[in-house]
Amino acid sequence: MAKRTNKKETFAKVMIPRPLRGFFTYSVPDEMQNGVVPGKRVLVSFGPRKAIGLVAEITHHAEVKNIKPIIQVIDDAPVVAPSVLKLAVWAAEHYFEPPGEFLPLIVPRDKIEVDTVVAIHEDLTEKPETRSKAALEIYDLLEKKGGERRLSLLSADLGKTQKDLGKILSGVTLKKFFITRQVARRVASRGNTRPYSLATSQKYEPVTLTDDQQKAVDTITPYIESKKFKVNLIHGVTGSGKTEIYASLAKKTLAIGKSVIFLAPEIALADAMSRRLERRLNIKPVVIHSDMTPKEREKRLSVISSGEAKIVVGARSAVFAPLEDLGLIVVDEEHDGSYKQDTSPRYNGRDVAIKRGAMENIPVVLGAATPSLESYYHALAGKYNLLELKHRIDGRSMPEVMLVKPDKDWEIGEKLHSAIKTCLEKKEQILLFINRRGLARHIQCSLCGYTFECRNCSLSLVFHMNSKTLSCHTCGYEEPAPTVCPDCASTDLWMGGGGSEKVEREIADMFPNARVARMDKDTTVKKRSSAKILESVENREVDILIGTQMVTKGHDFPGITLVGAINADNTLHIPDFRASERTFQLITQAGGRAGRGDSAGRVIIQTLSAGHHSVESAVKHDFKAFYAAEAPLRKAVGYPPYVRLAVIRIDAVSENKGEHFISRARRILGRIESESPDIYILGPVEAVVFKVRNRYHWRVLIKAKNHSTLSWGVRRFFGETDELSYAERGGVVVHCDMDPASVM
DNA sequence: AGCACGCCGACT
DNA sequence: GTCGGCGTGCTC
């Protein structure tokens, strides 16, 4: 309980690693006044148990009652740099996400999980009937082992000396600490770790910049040298050499003793970017992303925070890399939707990068062949510098693009078939892009019309030939592929809507001697499997690469001269405000994979929407034409970049419980809308996929002129719904998706 | 999330 | 009796 004293009382706002919105306030005991500092970890009571939290801020007022004191300060010095902490706090508030969800991005996970670090004997000395299950389990485990070992294992894990631990133990009258099984195992297996080495490469490749490239470098360099925030959008057609600009800017940044963060939309591209930068700069970047063991990640982060690493390359989470002398952030393929994480914490790596640039007063570079409408809009408005690269390097021409109608019976139409044939004869490589996986998207009984749907979701099951299953791409449900209709026992099952497996099968029939690789979610589950496929293409062990959108992203395939986009327009009919934008990007990016080597490229697009502006402008490689057609449509309907958007996702166990909550939500939303003339609310409406994993989904779109108004509206909504009791809410879960990548 | 409590029915 | 399943409430 907080005591009233004459002196101003001190409180700490703490980030707790739980999915709960908001910070938690604790009082700072007198003897800890000097020890409690933002960025340090503290041990605190959390409900009936303990938690490790991170101090975000020191304040002198608290809005909640029943404030508990901090039990113990864990660290001697902050474990998170002030700039990174500030950024995470900003992100939590901006995206309405639990601050604790950002903790694993800025602190090694095992350093904040109290459950796997310590369980406290207090539990066991209290009334036996209130002992927690976890404590009992640990007690049983450890009673059988030696007592002294516990302290040394614990000290190893917390990185503390046994003397320090003794102090913690006596200071809070804790009689014993215990360690769980996992930690004991992890600590026991801890071997000697070799320091991460920043080996330099031997194959340094200096380059001469083109005039356009040089101009971009000259424009951005002053911002680096004078430490000034500015967003610079580099709009360069595919193959125009954006990487050379990045490398050149990185060099300038390193020259003044500063460091650089590079972001790429996905792990494979981050790796590729790292290799290219290493060749240009003679320095090995440190690559970080979420798909590494906690130990490896921690090792690399410690190299970064020590100041040893000057260049960090990674996927979106690398935007929180603990570089203290940052001089530049580069976001490659800035338009890519995967910068927005679709699970909590829902943040956009590109936008957080821009915020970090603003906070640290350094320039940010966004690069893209197909900029997002948002970024281009800001560039036209003069808010961002716009730098254009209109030509491919080395005078390579843009690929010739041809539109053809899809064939009724085959995925590979006649034109595409003959182009593939010619290519194979010339020993050139081919890329076939199809935007869905599996063999058939729909299966229906030809006799009675029975359709196969997922039992957990409102979606049809996809037929996969290799595994001989029907599978749901949303929840993962699988059942054996049918041979007869379960309703009428007819064996005449119609399969429609081909995917990557169908294309693979047709290719095998049409060109039995061609060496074929398929790259989609099904063939890349294993670690490094996508890298292996890409290597085999690079080594010319593959003639035809078939893949879903993962093959269109930024990869450099010098041997590919023909790109075929099969049913390129099926993204066009997705009910989402970004459908056109995404179609334009996909076609342009897929086409951009052609002719990156010495031979000219050719692209064949099978589409029924030849007249649509996103297809038409992609054919001409004309982003400006696309923007000119798309922007007014967005403006007319009120979508980004003309308004700020948030999607409220409502998720219920049953339709009834959902409907009940929806009627309350509707009243609350109506009030919010009437209170501000600048807020527009659409919905709640059923989500496009209403039922997912046996839960029912609704969406509310909230639009506003600017972020602060939007933020006010969302805060008002949560303010009222959070007040409702569990029973009133009916177990309905509500999430906010701020600045969403899609409204589905 | 993760936990505890409390209210049920089912079972030694 | 009492064990356990799950619906509810709570975390500064």
pLDDT in tens, A622-641: 999 999 999 999 999 999 99
A24 CB inside 7 Å of strand C: yes
Comparing A68-82, A196-210, A669-683, the range with the smallest average pLDDT is: A196-210
Give CA separation, A68 vs A98, A100, A159, A712, in Å: 20, 19, 26, 30
A343 CB inside 7 Å of strand B: no
A45 CB inside 7 Å of strand C: yes
| Alpha carbons A624 and A611: distance in angstroms, whole number | 17
| Alpha carbons A308 and A694: distance in angstroms, whole number | 49
| Alpha carbons A609 and A619: distance in angstroms, whole number | 12
Return chain A residues 561..600 having CB < 7 Å to nucleic acid strand C.
none
Answer whether residue A526 shows pLDDT above 80.
no
A19 CB inside 7 Å of strand C: no
A166 CB inside 7 Å of strand B: no
Answer whether residue A171 shows pLDDT above 50.
no
A26 CB inside 7 Å of strand C: yes
| Alpha carbons A607 and A589: distance in angstroms, whole number | 16
Q: What is the rounded average pLDDT for all residues in chain A?
A: 83
Task: Find, among A80, A95, A11, the residue nearest to A739 by Cα.
Answer: A95
A725 CB inside 7 Å of strand C: yes
Please compute Rg for chain A using Cα positions: 28
Percent of chain A past pLDDT 70, that is, above it, reads 86
Q: What is the pLDDT of residue A598?
A: 66
pLDDT in tens, A343-384: 999 999 999 999 999 999 999 999 999 999 999 999 999 999
Two structure tokens written together for A275: 């290799």
Q: Are A718 and A729 in contact (CB under 8 A)?
A: no
Answer whether residue A607 shows pLDDT above 60.
yes
Distance A179 CA to B9 C1' (A): 37
Q: Which nucleotide, over all strands, has the C1' atom closest to the CA of A130? A: B4
A115 CB inside 7 Å of strand B: yes
What mean pLDDT do residues A695-723 have? 92
Answer whether residue A6 shows pLDDT above 60.
no
Answer whether residue A116 shows pLDDT above 60.
no
Q: Are A398 and A512 in contact (CB under 8 A)?
A: no
Give CA separation, A442 vs A438, A452, A461, in Å: 10, 8, 7
Answer whether residue A396 shows pLDDT above 80.
no
Neighbours of A548 (CB within 10 A): 21
What mean pLDDT do residues A230-245 have? 90
Task: Find, among A605, A610, A613, A606, the residue nearest to A631 by Cα.
Answer: A613
| Alpha carbons A464 and A501: distance in angstroms, whole number | 7
The angle formed by the CA atoms of residues A558, A563 and A567, to the nearest 5 degrees, is 150
Q: Which nucleotide, over all strands, has the C1' atom closest to the CA of A18? A: B1
Answer whether residue A720 shows pLDDT above 90.
no
A141 CB inside 7 Å of strand B: no
Answer whether residue A573 shows pLDDT above 70.
yes
| Alpha carbons A280 and A690: distance in angstroms, whole number | 49
Two structure tokens written together for A535: 């290597």
Per-residue pLDDT band at A706 (split at 50, 70, 90): very high
Number of H helices, E strands in chain A: 23, 29
Q: What is the pLDDT of residue A222?
A: 97
Return chain A residues 35..54 having CB < 7 Å to nucleic acid strand B.
47-49
Per-residue pLDDT band at A440 (split at 50, 70, 90): confident
What mean pLDDT do residues A554-581 have? 86
Q: How many residues does chain A have?
A: 744
Per-residue pLDDT band at A554 (split at 50, 70, 90): low
Residue whose Cα is closest to the C1' of C10 = A47
Q: What is the pLDDT of residue A390?
A: 85
CB within 8 Å of A93: residues ≥ 6 apart: none
A128 CB inside 7 Å of strand C: no
Distance A731 CA to C8 C1' (A): 9
Answer whether residue A255 shows pLDDT above 50.
yes
Burial A2-27 (b: 16+ CB within 10 A, else e): beeeeeebbbbbbbbbeeeebbbbbb
pLDDT in tens, A213-229: 999 999 999 999 999 99
Per-residue pLDDT band at A23 (split at 50, 70, 90): very high
Per-residue pLDDT band at A155 (split at 50, 70, 90): very low
Q: What is the pLDDT of residue A141?
A: 42
Two structure tokens written together for A31: 């003897």
Beta strand extents in A214-264 (DSSP E only): 230-236, 259-263
What mean pLDDT do residues A15-31 have? 93
A660 CB inside 7 Å of strand C: no
**Bases of strand C lying below 7 A from some protein CB:** 8-12
Percent of chain A past pLDDT 90, that is, above it, reads 42
Per-residue pLDDT band at A504 (split at 50, 70, 90): confident
Answer whether residue A693 shows pLDDT above 50.
yes
**Bases of strand B lying below 7 A from some protein CB:** 1-5
A480 CB inside 7 Å of strand B: no
Residue whose Cα is closest to the C1' of B5 = A130
Answer whether residue A161 shows pLDDT above 60.
no
Residue A544, CB half-sphere, CA atoms under 13 Å: how many?
28
Q: Are A412 and A566 in contact (CB under 8 A)?
A: yes
pLDDT in tens, A300-350: 988 998 888 999 999 999 999 999 899 999 999 999 999 999 999 999 999
Two structure tokens written together for A202: 């031997």
Distance A180 CA to C3 C1' (A): 26
Neighbours of A723 (CB within 10 A): 10
Q: What is the pLDDT of residue A168?
A: 40
A133 CB inside 7 Å of strand B: yes
Per-residue pLDDT band at A65 (split at 50, 70, 90): confident
A497 CB inside 7 Å of strand C: no
Answer whether residue A165 shows pLDDT above 50.
no
| Alpha carbons A9 and A7: distance in angstroms, whole number | 6
Query: pTM for the whole thing?
Result: 0.87
Q: What is the pLDDT of residue A174?
A: 30
Distance A731 CA to B10 C1' (A): 27
Start-to-end CA distance of chain A, whole Å, equals 45
A384 CB inside 7 Å of strand C: no
A695 CB inside 7 Å of strand B: no
Per-residue pLDDT band at A731 (split at 50, 70, 90): confident
Answer whether residue A482 shows pLDDT above 80.
yes
A495 CB inside 7 Å of strand B: no
Beta strand extents in A153-250 (DSSP E only): 177-178, 230-236
